[in-house]
Structure 1
């Protein structure tokens, strides 16, 4: 199996490099990851649960960082055992390149081999599962690095909203902040509702 992808990260190169070497961030981003613990120089013991097609198992393995060129690139060498499910091993070359002052382009090329039941379910399912896991990892990784990105997105959404929508949003916010305003609004609605009923 081979996988090559490129992702844009919303942080400077140095920040992206630090995050790629932060076990707490990696644990939060790797789907099914239970633990990542130091296991020697530039090496980590990893435990995770993963599902590949009909095969779901708990894998325990080791990840070694090699060819380190901070803050630009490194190679991850990994291997793991999943008991009766089989095993997996391979490597990934990860490269970071500046994309302006506050953005970084991350590229990687990964290759892996699987054995046991994993090898029997077919390369198509294995490749699909690997792409899904990678996509989820980078989605979470981007969120971890984004910080207050969601807040900025909400602000932009309000700015781009139609005038009527913005007015509704402001009215609701004012009502929440001012209980008396909320009470007056409720009374107006009751009066208009009563008038509508009497007319009908």
Structure 2
């Protein structure tokens, strides 16, 4: 599974980079995250419980950050296992681009899933990935982003929601969810 995309986050590049590396923020934002722990400056372990179609399973995994270029981005690689439910492994390149007072997070993900989840079909996996990534970015934007003083017009809100629901996320966080929950990304 190969995916790429971008997400605008209403926060400085430094704040976004820090948020993507803060286990307390990640714990709040990753759907189904039960635990996440930094084992070193470049490694994390986590446990996530998710329902993907008819399968509900807990996934445990590890993520390694490399090619660190604060606050511009990094490369993420990792793998996760959900026992009989399946596994995921892969990597993502994450770059952060300043955009005024906001940041554009760009990602390119290559992931492989296997086991029972891989047998469910790409439509179910893709729709679950989109929903989980959308949920992650919405929460991440709330936690890290600046609150907006001016509400967008209803047509912009509708366009934004539709766009968000199509997002497949990555970052230490979204990829962590990918790696820990096969099919997330």
Q: Name the TM-score, length of structure 2 as normaliser.
A: 0.77
Question: Which residue matches 2:175?
Answer: none
Superposition map of 1:59-70 within 5 A: 59-70=59-70
- Bigger drift between 59-68 and 119-128 goes to 119-128
Task: Name the SS for the 2:31 alignment partner.
Answer: coil
Q: Distance in 1 between matches of 2:102 and 2:35?
A: 29
- Higher-RCO chain (CA-CA 8 Å, sequence separation at least 6): 2
Contiguous gaps of at least 5 residues in structure 1: 158-200
Q: Distance in 2 between matches of 1:88 and 1:55?
A: 15
Question: Which residue matches 2:116?
Answer: 117
Task: Name the SS for the 2:26 alignment partner.
Answer: helix
Give the structure with the larger helix fraction: 1
Question: Which residue matches 2:102?
Answer: 103
Q: Deviations over 1:157-187 (max 9, x none)?
A: 9xxxxxxxxxxxxxxxxxxxxxxxxxxxxxx
Question: Which residue matches 1:174?
Answer: none
Q: How many residues in Structure 1 have an aligned counterpart in Structure 2?
A: 153
Task: Name the SS for the 1:56 alignment partner.
Answer: strand
Q: Distance in 2 between matches of 1:41 and 1:21?
A: 9
Asked whether 1:140 is paired with 2:161, we answer: no
Question: Which residue matches 2:71?
Answer: 71
Q: Tell me the CA shift for residue 74 of structure 1.
A: 0.7
Task: Name the SS for the 1:35 alignment partner.
Answer: strand
Question: Which residue matches 1:52?
Answer: 52
Q: Distance in 2 between matches of 1:133 and 1:87?
A: 17
Q: Tell me the CA shift for residue 60 of structure 1.
A: 0.5
Q: Tell me the CA shift for residue 15 of structure 1.
A: 1.2
Q: Distance in 2 between matches of 1:40 and 1:10?
A: 28
Q: Report which of the two structures shows the higher radius of gyration computed on alpha carbons.
A: 1
Q: Distance in 2 between matches of 1:98 and 1:89?
A: 30
Question: Which residue matches 1:131?
Answer: 130
Q: Tell me the CA shift for residue 40 of structure 1.
A: 3.1
Question: Which residue matches 2:14?
Answer: 14
Task: Name the SS for the 2:105 alignment partner.
Answer: strand
Q: Distance in 2 between matches of 1:14 and 1:99?
A: 12
Provide the alpha-carbon RMSD of the alignment.
1.7
Q: Tell me the CA shift for residue 153 of structure 1.
A: 4.6
Give the structure with the larger strand fraction: 2
Q: Name the TM-score, length of structure 1 as normaliser.
A: 0.72
Q: Tell me the CA shift for residue 13 of structure 1.
A: 1.1
